[in-house]
Amino acid sequence: MSEIFKKHLEKFIEIEDWEFSGILAFFQIKKVKKKENLLEEGQICKSHYFVLNGCLRKFFINRKGTEQTTEFAIESWWITDNFAFERGMSTEFYIQAVEKSEILIIDREAQEKLLIEFPKMERYFRFVYQRSYAASQMRIKYLYDFSKEESYYHLYNAHPEFVQRIPQYLIASFLGFSPEYLSEIRNKNRS
């Protein structure tokens, strides 16, 4: 499993085997059951999660009591509440396993030590955060620019792995509409 993480790192930085062993020592590996929460609203967000296999999601519960999914993470993706993690604050989100998953976990203190001991990881995390920020910017644009139907088809065409793998009610939650409306869109296309 650690090979997945090493290959991911090598997309951004050059890394020797001895360095990778040292870097990996800062992480914990954890197996998570489907629907297991890694983080719950009100908890201090202490960790950053890297998906080795499986799928995680970040969501909050809105004023109507409905879960609103804001983010997914599949293999080789990171997920956390960045705002709360960076400040050591309590979170307003949940992070939950959509599928049985295996993840790497690093806490704030370990990450700070990692960056001091292996400065090239600073460069790595900069690339990760830049990509994450760019994806967030595009998602916001799509919320304003696309109709609900266009949002679904954009997700379907850009990330078919999500649409095939993630339960439809979670896709609807991510896109900001009801599962029934998503069924209407899908049925309309089949007609």
Q: What is the pLDDT along the chain (191 residues), one digit of tens a residue?
A: 789 999 999 999 999 999 999 999 999 999 999 999 999 999 999 999 999 999 999 999 999 999 999 999 999 999 999 999 999 999 999 999 999 999 999 999 999 999 999 999 999 999 999 998 998 898 888 888 888 888 888 888 888 877 888 998 999 899 888 888 888 888 876 65
Tokens found for residue 54: 């499986």
Q: 66 phi and psi, to 5 degrees?
A: -100, 140
Are 42 and 90 in contact by the 8 Å Cβ rule? The answer is yes
Residues in the chain: 191
DSSP state of 104: E
DSSP state of 70: E
Separation of alpha carbons 121 and 172, rounded Å:
36
Query: How far is CA 25 from each of CA 33, 75, 115, rounded to the nearest angstrom?
Result: 24, 20, 13
